[in-house]
């Protein structure tokens, strides 16, 4: 079996929610919750990839590895393609599981199922997705229905968007594509609840409410 390393990317700052990775969330920081969850997974190594000294201290306290991120790759100047390529270069593993701290509602069994699918399906990357059932427009034109016929929303065609909550990719494929989503992807649908990604204060409050309800904390 090829080596699978779980990487937890953690930036020190946040543009919309101040210090969200370390902000108290149902009694612990988002990072602490994610570390506890990932330590239960069937992975060979866990690495926190970060520019934060606090995140490094948490890695040491939990006896997991860390990689001090170059400041450029933690900046807003760094493109997604640059970061994806960089992450693959500094992670010594055949396959990489990227776990986002800002997706706290993804369950342990969801990660385990995703790993099992990746290991048994002909793909070189796996990405969690959510179903979009909306009337979608672009440049003054509808995309998923005709202008002269608007169906009921339940009859709209299914569109799926990446959530970035669960990502598994072959390292060599990542280097070639410079992307988490490589040239032979598997799109893995997850629930609306698990799809929640914390980007705003409202997201944070809503996710915390659901987390407390889910885990009775």
In a domain, residue 183? The reply is yes
Could you tell me which of 20, 33, 14 has the C-alpha nearest to residue 105?
33
Give the whole-angstrom CA distance, residue 96 versus residue 84. 11
Q: What is the pLDDT of residue 60?
A: 98
The answer, yes or no, to whether residue 1 has pLDDT greater than 80, is no
What are 167-217's pLDDT values in tens digits?
A: 999 999 999 999 999 999 999 999 999 999 999 999 999 999 999 999 998
Q: How high does pLDDT run on average in the chain?
A: 95
Calculate mean pLDDT across residues 137-142.
93
In a domain, residue 146? The reply is no
> How many Å from the N-terminal Cα to the C-terminal Cα in the chain?
37
Q: What is the pLDDT of residue 122?
A: 97
In a domain, residue 140? The reply is no
Q: What is the pLDDT of residue 43?
A: 98
In a domain, residue 184? The reply is yes
In a domain, residue 197? The reply is yes
Domain that holds residue 40: 4-130+163-215
Pull the structure tokens for residue 131: 């179903």
Pull the structure tokens for residue 74: 């933690």
Is the dihedral angle over the CA atoms 51, 55, 57, 60 positive or is it negative?
Answer: negative
What are 33-78's pLDDT values in tens digits?
A: 999 999 999 999 999 999 999 999 999 999 999 999 999 999 989 9
In a domain, residue 182? The reply is yes
- 98-135 exposure pattern, b = at least 16 Cβ within 10 A, e = fewer: bbbbbbbbbeeebbeebbeebeeeebbbbbbbbeeeee
How many domains does one find in the chain?
1
The pTM for the full model equals: 0.93
In a domain, residue 152? The reply is no
Q: What is the pLDDT of residue 14?
A: 78
Q: How confident is the model at residue 18 (pLDDT cuts 50, 70, 90)?
A: confident
In a domain, residue 149? The reply is no
Whichever domain contains 13, its CATH number is 3.90.550.10
**Strand pairing partners for 47?**
7, 65
């Amino acid at each position: 079996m090829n080596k699978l390393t779980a990487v937890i990317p953690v930036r020190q700052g946040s543009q919309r929610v101040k210090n969200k990775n370390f902000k108290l969330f149902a009694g612990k920081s988002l990072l602490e919750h994610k570390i506890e969850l990932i330590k239960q997974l069937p992975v060979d190594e866990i690495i926190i990839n970060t520019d934060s000294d606090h995140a490094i201290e948490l890695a040491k306290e939990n006896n997991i590895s860390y990689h001090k991120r170059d400041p450029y790759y933690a900046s807003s100047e760094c493109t997604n393609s640059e970061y994806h390529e960089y992450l693959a270069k500094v992670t010594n593993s055949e396959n990489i599981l990227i776990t986002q701290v800002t997706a706290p509602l993804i369950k342990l069994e969801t990660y385990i199922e995703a790993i099992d699918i990746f290991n048994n399906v002909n793909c070189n990357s796996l990405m969690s997705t959510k179903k979009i059932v909306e009337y979608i427009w672009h440049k003054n034109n509808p995309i998923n229905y005709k202008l002269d016929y608007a169906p009921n929303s339940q009859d709209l065609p299914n569109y799926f968007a990446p959530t970035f909550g669960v990502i598994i990719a072959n390292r060599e494929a990542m280097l070639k594509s410079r992307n988490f989503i490589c040239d032979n992807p598997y799109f893995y649908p997850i629930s609306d609840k698990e799809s929640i990604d914390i980007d705003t204060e409202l997201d944070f409050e809503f996710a915390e409410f659901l987390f407390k309800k889910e885990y009775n904390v």
